[in-house]
Amino acid sequence: MTDGAPRNTRRDFLAGSAAALAATALPGCRKHRDAITLGLYAALTGNMADFGIASRNGVRLAAEEINAAGGVLGKPLHIAIEDTRGDSSEAASAVIRLIHLEGAVGILGEVASSLSLAGGRICQRYRIPMVSPSSTNPAVTALGDCVFRVCFIDPFQGDVMARFARNSLHFSRVAIFKEQGSAYSVGLAAAFKEAFTRVGGTIVTEQAYRSGDTHFSAQLGTILAQNPEGIFCPGYYTEAALIAREARGQGFRGRFMGGDGWSSPSLVQNDDDKLVGDFYSVGFAPDGATSGVARHFADAFQAKYGYAPNDLAALAYDATLAMVAAIRRAGSAVPERIRAELAQTRNLDGATGLISLNEHRDAVKSAVILEVHENSANYHSTVNP
Ligand code: PHE
């Protein structure tokens, strides 16, 4: 957890600026006085922008449906949105703005675990409940009793992909290529390694890159020299696509495997076939959706935006439903009351299935493995916890 953890100086600075904002901004500058405001912080620009856009669309669809049905506790639901630009100090200040300038009584976000760690610390400090739709690193909800998630966690996801590599693809030699400094990537790499070794496989080498890198030939040279059958690449879509292209150029003919961080239309929208036949795990696939809410969501999303939703959109929709259901059960928009009710979330009927939060404030859910085709990633199989 190297990035995402603001150093003391930055933390003090943020605390100071939050106090200043609170003193000047509340409650007079709160913009939507007659509404109940939730804040969404997400990367709407930068190299994780696909994450934020999908999440925002999922949250907006939920809010629109809730408002069409009469709102929450007799008030309209307002979603205030702040761009994190994929940066952890931006994420922290985005959350401060949402709480102190917008008057958000609950926070939705972030996608990337390192950013949820930064924003979650702020929520925990001000005791504002936060629901991350999609951050899978265990440390996120371990921040404290104000931080929840509606997705599975990486020890499970790593186990799913390790067993798939071993039992379905029959691999015994796999290399890991992870993003140094990403809580998500480092944690998922460790989970995969532990599980793949446990089922009798060998990790032939473990290499690392940094966010924003565009050339990987040195590490790929080391990886290909080991002649692995597969490369597990637990990073985000931008780098994963570049890595795959470069590895194919260097002659790699094995399979790539990844986790939910690959989830983006950009992964498959290029005209080359670098990842065709490769696999990654996610929490939801619209073409595997069977339950009532899942189908309703997939159809409503397609109708509103003109394209099929991915896991991020579905999880963001569900995070909104979970927060609103907690407000309704509490009969109050007081953050502490919402927090207490969120902890009681059981069998919430969401787009990604029935959601129950355990004592760690995590959802226990199935994973879906997707296979990459020419211009899309399609449902391959479901793995239950
Ligand atoms: N699980 C990733 C993380 O924790 C975020 C992510 C989830 C990205 C789902 C894409 C899809 O950083």
Residue 276 DSSP SS3: coil
Chain segment 99-120, per-residue pLDDT in tens: 999 999 999 999 999 999 999 9
**How many Å apart are CA 242 and CA 32, to the nearest integer?**
43
Chain segment 18-47, per-residue pLDDT in tens: 444 544 444 444 668 899 999 999 999 999
pLDDT at 5: 36
CA of 332 to the centre of ligand 1 (A): 31
Residue 349 confidence (pLDDT) above 50: yes
Q: Is 268 in the pocket of ligand 1 (CB under 6 A)?
A: no
- Interacting residues of 126 by C-beta distance below 8 A, sequence separation 6+: 18, 99
- Interacting residues of 242 by C-beta distance below 8 A, sequence separation 6+: 213, 214, 216
Chain segment 113-141, per-residue pLDDT in tens: 999 999 999 999 999 999 999 999 999 99
CA of 311 to the centre of ligand 1 (A): 9
**Tokens 């100071």 map to which residue?**
16
Architecture of domain 154-282: 3-Layer(aba) Sandwich (3.40)
Q: Is 112 in the pocket of ligand 1 (CB under 6 A)?
A: yes
Chain segment 196-253, per-residue pLDDT in tens: 999 999 999 999 999 999 999 999 999 999 999 999 999 999 999 999 999 999 999 9
CA distances from 161 to 15, 164, 166, 209, 234 (A): 40, 5, 9, 21, 10
Q: Is 134 in the pocket of ligand 1 (CB under 6 A)?
A: yes
CATH 3.20.20.80 describes domain 7-152+291-365: no
- In testing the pocket of ligand 1, which one of 57, 108, 111 has its CB within 8 Å of the most ligand atoms? 111
CATH code 3.40.50.2300 region(s) in the chain: 7-152+291-365, 154-282
Is residue 332 within 8 A of residue 338, CB to CB? The reply is: yes
Ligand 1 nearest-atom number relative to CA 283: 9
Looking from the CA of 375 toward its CB, the CA atoms found within 13 Å total 2
CA of 80 to the centre of ligand 1 (A): 22
> Measuring CA to CA, which residue among 158, 161, 165, 156 is closest to residue 201?
165
Report which DSSP code applies to 141.
G
**Tokens 């790929």 map to which residue?**
220
**How many Å apart are CA 180 and CA 165, to the nearest integer?**
23
CA of 228 to the centre of ligand 1 (A): 26
Chain segment 289-337, per-residue pLDDT in tens: 777 999 999 999 999 999 999 999 999 999 999 999 999 999 999 999 9
Is residue 135 within 8 A of residue 184, CB to CB? The reply is: yes
Q: Is 136 in the pocket of ligand 1 (CB under 6 A)?
A: yes
Whether the pTM exceeds 0.95: the reply is no
Strands (E), the chain: 36-42, 77-83, 106-109, 130-132, 147-149, 173-179, 202-209, 230-232, 255-258, 279-282, 348-350, 353-355, 367-372, 377-383
Q: Is 135 in the pocket of ligand 1 (CB under 6 A)?
A: yes
Ligand 1 nearest-atom number relative to CA 136: 4
Cis peptide leading into 82, omega within 30 of 0?
no
Amino acid at 258: G
